[in-house]
Amino acid sequence: MITDKPNFFDYDLTDLENLLVSWGEPGYRIDQVWRGMYQELKVNPDEISNIPKSLRIKLKNYFNYSNLLTESTLISANGQTEKTLFRLPDKLAIETVLMRYEKRRTLCISTQSGCALGCVFCATGQMGFGRHLTSGEIIEQVILFERILRENDESLTNVVVMGMGEPFHNYDNTMAALDRLNHPRGLNMGARRFTVSTVGLIPQILRFAKERRQINLAISLHAAEDELRNSILPINKRYPLQDLMDACREYVNKTHRRITFEWALILGVNDTEEQANKLAELLHGLICHVNIIPLNPTNGYAGKATTIQRARIFKGELERKGISCTIRVRRGIDIQAGCGQLASEA
């Protein structure tokens, strides 16, 4: 249901401070409210016991505390991957995925409903663009799953901004959300526990570099020559590979941080030794790591995943050229929760 009330999680600390000061509240109330919602993970101010009842009522009446309505949850056959469909107030939808590893709990969050960039093998791109998420809607995904995990004495170890949407297309809201989740007085998750993935929006990569953030950067590459990349990632026509690589080198030079390149291996398309060699040439001298993963299937793309044998050959070629590389294990394929599979029926 659409509400006229502002979402609490769309407010930063300064916004909240200005509001509470305008209400005549003492300064220490700001920390009490902020800590209650971000660190103690209260559902609403009714649960914040160390603030007066009058302030609880005021806050509850002023704000909306969730834009995300849980519509369905699917759990993979091995129990390690959980995908939740959330309905937004305007009836659009997003999906968020929790992945359980032996020692890690990784959450894959969305920044848009749908996506405007149209990568051909991605179910979200096949949907088209709905809208940007607000910073609060991005934050809420993390808060909700952290709340669930804490009930079992667990906690999120990593957040990957690789769900629905292109995070750098929604740069301001995405960074505002991560700043609040990272803030010592917010959820206080270390910056290096976040990874943001982009298909290569060069102005935003350069802005990200200039801001010298400690958040990890991943680039969805998938091809090492323009003609091939144009055919699977249309954004390459606007930001071709050489320009993208120049931006990546600028990022590394300014931050001294390693970039991860994502590569979905498509049988007979980009899984050849020739592509591996061209990729190695493209990345020569760059501080980087390549994550390769056999393509996850989607209804709107006829391409097939490479075989594990071809993936190993591809990896071997990169490593022989001095490029660090890992074959990632596909997760949640049976519930359409893998990379590139997130979509909604909205």
The torsion angle over the Cα atoms of residues 60, 62, 67 and 71, rounded to 10 degrees, is 40
Active site residue 339: yes
**Catalytic, out of 17, 95, 166, 317:** 95
| Amino acid type, 6 | P
- What is the C-alpha to C-alpha distance for residues 88 and 66, in angstroms, rounded to an integer? 9
DSSP letters of 322-335? T--EEEPPP--GGG
- For the record, the structure tokens of 133 come out as 């998420």
Strand partners, 69: 87
Active site residue 102: no
**CB contact set of 51 (below 8 Å; sequence gap of 6+):** 29, 32, 33, 36, 45
The DSSP symbol for 64 reads B
Strand partners, 292: 263, 327
Closest CA to 263 of 250, 282, 237, 247: 282
Closest CA to 70 of 81, 86, 55: 86
Closest CA to 69 of 97, 45, 90, 47: 90
Determine the Cα angle at 17 with ends 12 and 20, to 5°.
125
- What is the C-alpha to C-alpha distance for residues 245 and 251, in angstroms, rounded to an integer? 10
Contact (CB, 8 A) for 341 and 123:
yes
Strand 288-294 vs strand 259-265: parallel, antiparallel, or unpaired?
Answer: parallel
- What is the C-alpha to C-alpha distance for residues 94 and 136, in angstroms, rounded to an integer? 14
* CA 177 to chain CA centroid, nearest Å: 11
DSSP letters of 123-143? HHHHH-EEEEPPHHHHHHHHH
Active centre residues (catalytic): 95, 339
